[in-house]
Amino acid sequence: MIKKHSKLFLIFIITTLLMVFCNLKSENTANAATFSPMLLDSNGEKVTDNLTFNITDSMDNSVITATSTNDGYIDFYKVKENHIYNVSMINNNKYIVEPISFIIKDGTPYITNTNKLFLSLKVLKNENKLETTKFSNLYLSVLSNGAEIKDDLEFIFTDGVTNIKSKNIDGQIFAKLKENTSYTLKLVNNNKYSMEEFSFTIKPDASGLSWPYIDSNQKLLLNVDLKEKISLENNEDNSNKSIINTLKIINQNGDNVNDELTFIFYNKSKNQLLGEFKTANGKLPKIKLTTDDIYEITLKENERYSMKKKNIYAFMDGLPVDVDDEYERLTEELVVENCGCEIENFKKVTINQMKIIDTNGNSVKDNLTFIFFNISKQRPLGEFISVGGMLPNIELIADDIYEVYVKENHKYGMKRKNIFAFMNHYPIDENDEYQRWFDTFEVIKKDENYVEPKEEKVPVEITTSFNNKIIKEKITFELISEDETIVVDSNDGVVKANLHPNVDYMVGLVNNDKYDIETFPLVVKNKIVGKFPYDHRTCDLVNTFNLVEKGTIIENNPRHTIEDENKTSRVTGMNFLDLKLVVEKINPENIDTLKDKDVDLYDIRFINVYRNEVVKIPTGNYTVTIPKIRGKEIKAIYYVGDNGKLEEHEIINGTNNSVVTFKTNHFSMYAIEYKQPNTNYSNNGENKPNNSENNKDSNLNNNQINNSTTSSDYKENNLNNDFNNNPIVKIDNNALNKKIEKEYNIINKTDDNKKLTNTGSTVSSNGYLFAILSIICIIIVKRKIKK
């Protein structure tokens, strides 16, 4: 009996030891997981740079190292359950990571100090990164009059210390140059070509790519333009020549310009440079042109004046013909734009960071884009984004006046502000009678009571003409903006009206059976010397309303159609001239009225290429064509107003094609809403008729599901069930992150017999292992007893 109990006791001891061994083993292996957070920057955008991180176990100081992949994720292997890990970044000058720690509980990661789900790791750009010398390979095409030059030429790149020589090989020169360093490019003297020296700097952009920019105008440097050395005194037959009279140089206000300026004449008919000609006492000299050949005249770049290109030809000695004029009239003058500065001032100053506040004085943390326009030079300075309620330090030209305003958006507006600075400090309010400095820009929240702030109206006077003659009879005009319609009669050939600056007014006639006018956006702009009306398509000064005979304007004129640069969108309904059409597809998630809808959202706008600003076309009759997803059926098209207000528009055609066409009378954001599919999925994976048109709240959009996971074939659309089965997922969609955190504070445990998605954790089969080992032990013991 005792012997029998001894056998049983021996079996019990062996079994107990095996259980302890199995439990220890499972502690060290089964609870190890793979943690894969997504990398996001401060704007919530995915970071695809390869960054290396350490996570340090606070319990045993062990370190796990991993490098992020190009898809914006980082995989940490063998992360232990219920261990607190501290995250740090290794050797990176571009990004920093704020201190953060996390813990994995039941296969789900949580931030330790907030107990929120830890699905993404935020990295910030390092504003104080160490300056290191970086080099870029620069290739420049060598051109003359637009044609590639393959002659044996030599160029020199110099930064003032080092000279780098480069040969022209097959129409291209090459040099390896330092970034953020100004280089001057020179052409070694030769008998055939000449080139003006210029300086440029290679600068990296936000994506890490580097681009060369010309220092004087910040334009992208793509090629080197050479001028062929052509003697003006040649042996051509002078019987085919016409000598044009001296051309007078005037500014936009009609005043004579006596500064010495250089004009370039280029024969477009023969694709040949004629030469450069300087003015004296406000006039060009007499110039010999080939009869009937078209010449393009450009103003050589300078800091005080600019000019639109002008095309002329001569058919006899005397005044040339203006090719760009609708009636091809003779011209005796060239019009240049004066920046208004008497003495050029190149002193640069840096203004301090400006705070962004609302009308209650509260800080506005939204990332807003502010546009700075140099009124003194009539050039855009650039766009600057506020971060955390602050603008960055901005470099200005001392004493130049800048116009500052917030870029068009649906959340905030702003009254335009004119500023200047003469020292490194805060800017000065140009309209303040005491010329005081200030440190904030105030923006206005767009709610149902919002009214766009405007400047005080200014008086304008514009003459009325027909066939180049002043019309004395009364003509009734209408000037239509977004907020008002001004009806005004001409008096003795002059139209007088008070207009808001920086507001576009569409020009038209009222009830006139004799005359008509081609509509265009009229805008009043500040030119330092005064505020004047301009054609916002071309920046031409408007002195006269040129009328035409009734019935001569062709509404379907092909010139009245404009396409975007991708040629995927177009607008018809006006002579757009120099305007640029921009159609941008944007994220609809920030507009409440579009949430839970399957939509494509487009921002349709027109850009004045000379001032790089949006032209608000307030009214008209336009036909718009924009892209859509082929095969999807359209439910509706909406104009999206302020506060997300939706205004439905009638679709002309294209409900099932790759484009859709509709009519409108104004421009901004437009949304294409697609119809929902006719089926959803039942719990057993079978197709089932959909009883409602939109399962808005209960089901996830199929696209969201596909974009938000990298494993598990979803068979249920219910978010709660999906999340129970897949507690850790790689989530590509920021909105889904927020939805999970907001609606699912408690995460259910995974069923014991299921694999944890993206963690690598599996519940150990300790029961099975224990049973097998126990049986083996019993067999061994029995054999020994028998022996």
Domain boundaries, given as residue ranges, for the chain: 2-29+764-786, 33-125, 135-228, 238-338, 348-445, 458-549, 558-674
Please provide residue 16's backbone torsions phi and psi, each rounded to the nearest 5 degrees: -60, -45
**Tokens found for residue 429:** 């309010």
Task: Using DSSP, state whether 438 is helix, strand or coil.
Answer: coil
What pLDDT does 557 receive? 58
What pLDDT does 732 receive? 40
Please provide residue 152's backbone torsions phi and psi, each rounded to the nearest 5 degrees: -80, 95
Could you give the count of Cα atoms lying within 13 Å of 180 in the half-sphere of its Cβ? 7
Q: Is the dihedral of CA 112, 114, 118, 122 positive or negative?
A: negative
Fold of 238-338: Immunoglobulin-like (2.60.40)
Sheet strands (E) in 609-642 = 613-615, 622-627, 634-640
Fold of 558-674: Immunoglobulin-like (2.60.40)
Could you give the count of Cα atoms lying within 13 Å of 769 in the half-sphere of its Cβ? 12
Q: Tell me: domain 458-549, CATH 3.90.550, correct?
A: no
**Tens digits of residue pLDDT in 544-584:** 888 888 887 766 555 678 888 888 888 888 888 888 888 98
705: left (phi over 0), alpha (psi -120 to 50) or beta: alpha
* Assigned CATH for 348-445: 2.60.40.10
Pairing, β 182-187 against β 417-420? unpaired
Distance CA 455, CA 375 (A): 16
66: left (phi over 0), alpha (psi -120 to 50) or beta: beta
In sequence order, what DSSP letters do the residues of 24-67 get, joined into one string? Answer: HHHHHHTTEEEE-PEEE-TTSPBP-S--EEEEEETTT--EEEEE
pLDDT, averaged per 10 consecutive residues of the chain (787 residues), comes to: 55 59 46 74 79 83 82 81 84 77 82 79 67 77 80 89 86 88 90 88 79 87 81 51 86 80 90 86 88 90 82 88 82 78 62 93 93 78 91 90 87 89 89 86 87 81 86 88 85 87 86 86 74 81 86 67 85 84 86 86 86 78 85 86 81 71 85 76 43 40 38 35 36 43 39 37 48 62 54
Task: Using DSSP, state whether 707 is helix, strand or coil.
Answer: helix
Tell me 697's DSSP state: T
Task: Using DSSP, state whether 594 is helix, strand or coil.
Answer: helix
Please provide residue 364's backbone torsions phi and psi, each rounded to the nearest 5 degrees: -105, 110
Distance CA 550, CA 492 (A): 21
* Assigned CATH for 33-125: 2.60.40.10
Query: Residues 497, 459: contact at Cβ < 8 Å?
Result: yes
**Tokens found for residue 130:** 């160490």
Which residue is it, tokens 């390979």? 137
Q: Which of 401, 404, 279, 262 is nearest to 341 (CA)?
A: 401
What pLDDT does 45 receive? 78
Distance CA 347, CA 9 (A): 96
**Tokens found for residue 730:** 């790689």
Distances (CA, A) of 548 to 329, 452, 461, 467: 16, 35, 20, 8
Fold agreement between 348-445 and 458-549: yes
Considering all CA atoms of the chain, what is the largest pairwise distance in Å, rounded to the nearest integer? Answer: 139
- The DSSP bridge partners found for residue 166 are 155
Note the Cα 756 to chain centre separation in Å: 40
Q: Which of 204, 161, 202, 164 is nearest to 182 (CA)?
A: 202
Could you give the count of Cα atoms lying within 13 Å of 297 in the half-sphere of its Cβ? 26
- The architecture of the domain spanning 135-228 is Sandwich (2.60)
Spell 650-668 as b/e; 16+ CB within 10 A means b.
ebeebeeeeebbbebeebb
- The alpha-helical segments, DSSP class H, found in 140-248 are none
Task: Using DSSP, state whether 315 is helix, strand or coil.
Answer: coil
Return the amino acid letter for 548: V
Q: Which of 622, 660, 664, 621 is nearest to 640 (CA)?
A: 664
Task: Using DSSP, state whether 3 is helix, strand or coil.
Answer: helix
Could you give the count of Cα atoms lying within 13 Å of 208 in the half-sphere of its Cβ? 8
Q: What angle do CA 35, 39, 43 make, to 5 degrees?
A: 150
- The DSSP bridge partners found for residue 124 are 96
* The model's pTM: 0.42
Distance CA 662, CA 637 (A): 8
Spell 595-614 as b/e; 16+ CB within 10 A means b.
eebbbbbbebbbebebbebb
Return the amino acid letter for 277: F
Rg of the chain on CA atoms, in Å:
36
